[in-house]
Chains A and B, each alone.
Chain A
Amino acid sequence: MARQTLDPAAPAQAEQNGARAGAATAPRAPRGKTGWGWTRAVVAFPALLLALLGSVVLAETFSSVYIQPIVTAQVLLNATGLFAFPRTWPLTDETILLTLRLPSVMGAVLVGAALGVAGALLQGLLRNPLADPFLLGTSSGAALGASAAFLLPAVFATSLLGFSLLAGSAFLGALLAAALVYMLATRHGRTPVVSLLLAGVAVSALLSAIQTLIIIFNDRQGFLIRVLYLWVAGGIRVGTWEQVWVVGALVALGLLGALLVAPSLDVFALGEEMAAHLGLAVERRKVAVVALAALLVAAAVSISGLVGFVGLVVPHVFRILLGPRHRLLIPASALGGAIFVTLADLLARTIVAPAVLPLGALTALVGGPFFLALLRSAGRRYQW
């Protein structure tokens, strides 16, 4: 098909629209003018990166022993190997910061990034504003996995790379639940998103019921309920750098995959049929998106329990700020989720120190009002 324009007025129109700057230039496709999202992105991403860095420094600074923020920043920058500030602080500070605190803070960063991206993936795939990373049975799968671990005698003794048996079985539980949901929702090689949602709800209910039975028929019932409750309420549980590397690798993998499927998610917004007409192998993309989301959620769950609200809200916030395109939305949700969870975890550890509040409660408590305010100020412009 020939690509020249039919209408003699068309080039003039295109010029009017786009290359406003150079009046002398021939009418050509205006680059960069592909929606206001990109211009904002140029500002937003450096700002988000700085904010994340700032959050990490803050989270490192405030804990049981106070260390000056400037020291924290210098130690952290030295640790990257790119800087070499002369040491003006006691060596113990460095040990506290890098060995004791940093793994936990990095855990918060990873959990936030994973949940933010998983939320963006599932909201995009399901075309549903209420989609949440824990939607596809992953939360109850993880909880059931955690409960099942208690049935094993060596639950607190065994560990691998710093992961407890609890963490491992929660990870597996989340993945298996998502796989089960996907299988149940698939018929004749097709997986309608409505079936996916319904299967998710049904499987969640089923797994929760099994979990309840496990708890009820366990002779250490009271203890189990308390431990599980705390686990479900969420909190960053990272003790070693190995854990950070393992979870970090999984999250990096998930994030990379998410960036690759991002353009497909935009096309999915037009509906699956249209996506097929635009050349996407729809079912294969769907499996990929669900698998990526499940991987990210499982990775997060293994070190944090169930931290709600992040994956639901963060993608909405950035859709308001940057527009709906997933190529921007996904990295922004990763950074935003990381900032959010890092700060929430900081609050959880410090508000009533030395006691620690459940992280899941904090994310909802802090994020809720903020999100509502944003939603109200965006008004009718935001048709999600």
Chain B
Amino acid sequence: MSETALEFAAVSFAYRRALALDDVSFRVTPGAMVGLLGPNGAGKSTILKLAAGTLRPSAGRVCLLADEASRLPRREAARRVAMVPQEFTVQFPYSVRQIVEMGRTPRLRLLGTLRSEDHAAVESALATTEIAHLAGRAFQELSGGERQRALLALALAQEGEILLLDEPTAHLDIRWQIETLELLRRLNAERGLTILAALHDLNLAARYFSRLILLNKRVVADGPPSRALERELLASVYGAAVTVGVLGGEEHLSILPPGHTWQGAPSSLDGKSSAPVVHVLAGGGTGALLMRALADAGIPFSAGPLNIGDSDYALAERLAVACIVEPPYAPVSDAGLAAAGEAMRAAGAVLLCPIPLGAGNVALLDLARSAAQSGARVILLEPEAGSMPDREALLARVAARDYSGRGPALYRALLEAGAEIAAMPTQTLDLLTGVRDGLT
């Protein structure tokens, strides 16, 4: 194996007249795992295509294991590099196995019959990506995450030394995103596969890639996450929007361990940090509308505890000033409870979304009650109980989603401690605006 898997030497590329890449140079050593970051149009996909040799640079050289990529015969290039594209449609009802078998194309003989080593490679790729049970299904019928797996299997069956991925986590929910990246890391560590991936999620990039290249037609930064994700650099490359959810320094190596409070960046453009004035208890999508409404109204809020992979978690991570995180599917930990109690006290107001109540989270209601008793405002959101819900309608709804046995009693206690009822997120906002006015 040569010392350099992939080398860009002063590479420029222009589509027609529009310059897509300007004097880009970097080297990737065999077995490295490198993430490409940058806004849309920064040239991430162009770099991948140049690396695969399907585009020829306007200037400079792209070397693939010591040979110039665009001069290699297509077949030879495809034996060295495999590409996992971002978007993918298949026109005919091919089965997953048939699709994965196509990964063997650059290694087949004239008539394209598969030999035993080809079958072995296909089986191995299906097993590694854990989709062997889907092998007989039609590719078109797979879910987004399963498709992504199948494409990865296709690329693995190709058995190249370098794996290129174009936004492998786009269109996936958070669980698939994490599983995909875990798989890539495993492939990198255990097989020494060289990985170059264009990424859009800075958080995940920072967590899974030891080296990041920040692009904006040129290489803006190249190094470990702490260096590549400098806040000023990001702000200059992405514009202001990126400051949401990204922090300076090392802390943005985010998705923190359970129970930690994640201090998010300010959502306002001026970068001035504002303390949360309300804490949101949500989960399972019950808080989605509310959190968006809060963010739209410019009301800073904290949220959690939320399980990683929960649909509210992904949103809270983007919109909330702070978010308390728990591992996937885990009950609320003691640390999480403590952090939530602290957040409620600090915010001075609590929004309780209609979450299903179970043994794992009912303790949060106790916390909300003590917050209410010590003077915090508590608002109970209950969209299902009619437009002007009364106590009885509310309690009936609570009983319907209670699996802990304590739900209705705790809600009753909350109401007695002065909690208010809101039927819609907008009503909540009306109630809350008073809160904020009171603070300022």
Residues of A that sit less than 8 Å from B by CB: 1-7, 9-11, 13-14, 16-18, 28-31, 34-36, 127, 259-260, 262-263, 266-267, 269-271, 273-274, 276-281, 319, 323-325, 327, 381-384
Is the C-beta of B41 less than 8 angstroms from some C-beta in chain A?
no
B190 to chain A, nearest CB (A): 5
Please name all residues of chain B whose beta carbon is closer than 8 Å to the beta carbon of A16 when the two chains form the complex.
132
CA distance A378 to B305 in the complex (A): 49
Check if B116 sits within 8 Å of A263, measured CB to CB.
Answer: no
CA distance A35 to B139 in the complex (A): 12
Check if B78 sits within 8 Å of A7, measured CB to CB.
Answer: no
Question: Please, what's the 1-or-0 string for B101-144, where 1 marks a CB less than 8 Å from any CB in chain A?
Answer: 11101101011101010111111101110101101101010000
Contact status of A35 and B106, CB under 8 A, knowing A273-B54, A277-B78? no
Contact status of A269 and B112, CB under 8 A, knowing A31-B119, A276-B74, A280-B105? no
Check if B52 sits within 8 Å of A277, measured CB to CB.
Answer: yes
Q: List 17 A-B contacts (CB under 8 A).
A: A2-B191, A3-B120, A5-B127, A10-B132, A13-B132, A29-B116, A34-B98, A34-B114, A263-B108, A263-B112, A266-B98, A270-B99, A274-B83, A277-B82, A277-B85, A279-B76, A281-B74
Contact status of A14 and B93, CB under 8 A, knowing A1-B193, A3-B121, A29-B120? no
Please name all residues of chain B whose beta carbon is closer than 8 Å to the beta carbon of A5 when the two chains form the complex.
124, 127-128
B29 to chain A, nearest CB (A): 16
Is the C-beta of B160 less than 8 angstroms from some C-beta in chain A?
yes
* Given A36-B95, A279-B78, 8 other A-B residues pairs in contact with their CB atoms under 8 A: A259-B111, A263-B105, A271-B88, A277-B82, A277-B85, A279-B79, A319-B92, A384-B91
Residue of A11, A17, A278, A384 near B102 (CB, 8 A) is: A278
Check if A277 sits within 8 Å of B120, measured CB to CB.
Answer: no
Check if B98 sits within 8 Å of A14, measured CB to CB.
Answer: no
Please name all residues of chain B whose beta carbon is closer than 8 Å to the beta carbon of A7 when the two chains form the complex.
127-128, 130
Check if B102 sits within 8 Å of A382, measured CB to CB.
Answer: no
Check if A30 sits within 8 Å of B119, measured CB to CB.
Answer: yes
Check if A383 sits within 8 Å of B138, measured CB to CB.
Answer: yes
Check if A279 sits within 8 Å of B114, measured CB to CB.
Answer: no
Is the C-beta of B77 less than 8 angstroms from some C-beta in chain A?
yes
Please name all residues of chain A whose beta carbon is closer than 8 Å to the beta carbon of B101 when the two chains form the complex.
34
Check if A280 sits within 8 Å of B159, measured CB to CB.
Answer: no
Nearest A residue (CB) for B138: A383
Check if A35 sits within 8 Å of B97, measured CB to CB.
Answer: yes
B332 to chain A, nearest CB (A): 32
Contact status of A279 and B106, CB under 8 A, knowing A29-B122, A266-B98, A325-B94? yes
CA distance A13 to B138 in the complex (A): 20
Please name all residues of chain A whose beta carbon is closer than 8 Å to the beta carbon of B89 when the two chains form the complex.
271
CA distance A92 to B111 in the complex (A): 46
Contact status of A278 and B93, CB under 8 A, knowing A3-B121, A3-B159, A327-B112? no
Is the C-beta of B401 less than 8 angstroms from some C-beta in chain A?
no
Number of interface residues of B (CB under 8 A): 62
Please name all residues of chain A whose beta carbon is closer than 8 Å to the beta carbon of B158 when the two chains form the complex.
278
CA distance A4 to B94 in the complex (A): 26
CA distance A383 to B99 in the complex (A): 16
Is the C-beta of B161 less than 8 angstroms from some C-beta in chain A?
yes
Contact status of A276 and B191, CB under 8 A, knowing A14-B132, A18-B123, A266-B102? no
Is the C-beta of B186 less than 8 angstroms from some C-beta in chain A?
yes
Please name all residues of chain B whose beta carbon is closer than 8 Å to the beta carbon of A34 when the two chains form the complex.
97-98, 101, 114, 119
Residue of B83, B85, B102, B135 near A267 (CB, 8 A) is: B102
B193 to chain A, nearest CB (A): 6
Is the C-beta of B90 less than 8 angstroms from some C-beta in chain A?
yes
CA distance A6 to B193 in the complex (A): 13
B179 to chain A, nearest CB (A): 14
Check if A270 sits within 8 Å of B88, measured CB to CB.
Answer: yes
Check if B119 sits within 8 Å of A267, measured CB to CB.
Answer: no
Please name all residues of chain A whose beta carbon is closer than 8 Å to the beta carbon of B120 when the two chains form the complex.
3, 28-29
B59 to chain A, nearest CB (A): 18
**Closest 4 interchain pairs by CB?**
A29-B119, A279-B78, A263-B112, A279-B106
Check if B85 sits within 8 Å of A260, measured CB to CB.
Answer: no
A26 to chain B, nearest CB (A): 12
Check if B190 sits within 8 Å of A6, measured CB to CB.
Answer: yes
Check if A324 sits within 8 Å of B94, measured CB to CB.
Answer: yes
Please name all residues of chain B whose beta carbon is closer than 8 Å to the beta carbon of A35 when the two chains form the complex.
95, 97-98, 136
CA distance A11 to B127 in the complex (A): 8
Check if A14 sits within 8 Å of B123, measured CB to CB.
Answer: yes
Is the C-beta of B75 less than 8 angstroms from some C-beta in chain A?
yes
Check if A324 sits within 8 Å of B191, measured CB to CB.
Answer: no
Please name all residues of chain A whose beta carbon is closer than 8 Å to the beta carbon of B81 when the two chains form the complex.
277
Contact status of A260 and B102, CB under 8 A, knowing A2-B191, A29-B123, A281-B74? no
Check if A14 sits within 8 Å of B127, measured CB to CB.
Answer: yes
Interface centre among A4, A28, A277, A279 (most CB of B within 10 A): A277
Please name all residues of chain A whose beta carbon is closer than 8 Å to the beta carbon of B118 when the two chains form the complex.
29
Nearest B residue (CB) for A33: B97
For chain B, residues 286 to 321, give those with C-beta under 8 angstroms from any C-beta of chain A. Answer: none
Please name all residues of chain A whose beta carbon is closer than 8 Å to the beta carbon of B140 when the two chains form the complex.
383
Nearest A residue (CB) for B190: A6
Check if B128 sits within 8 Å of A277, measured CB to CB.
Answer: no
CA distance A346 to B116 in the complex (A): 46
Please name all residues of chain A whose beta carbon is closer than 8 Å to the beta carbon of B123 when the two chains form the complex.
14, 17-18, 29-30
CA distance A383 to B93 in the complex (A): 6
CA distance A259 to B111 in the complex (A): 8
B344 to chain A, nearest CB (A): 44
Please name all residues of chain B whose beta carbon is closer than 8 Å to the beta carbon of A280 when the two chains form the complex.
74-75, 105
Contact status of A279 and B74, CB under 8 A, knowing A1-B160, A384-B92? yes
Please name all residues of chain B whose beta carbon is closer than 8 Å to the beta carbon of A9 when the two chains form the complex.
127
Nearest A residue (CB) for B49: A273
Please name all residues of chain B whose beta carbon is closer than 8 Å to the beta carbon of A277 when the two chains form the complex.
52, 54, 78, 81-83, 85
Check if B159 sits within 8 Å of A1, measured CB to CB.
Answer: yes
Contact status of A6 and B121, CB under 8 A, knowing A1-B160, A29-B116? no
Please name all residues of chain A whose beta carbon is closer than 8 Å to the beta carbon of B54 when the two chains form the complex.
273, 276-277
CA distance A266 to B100 in the complex (A): 12
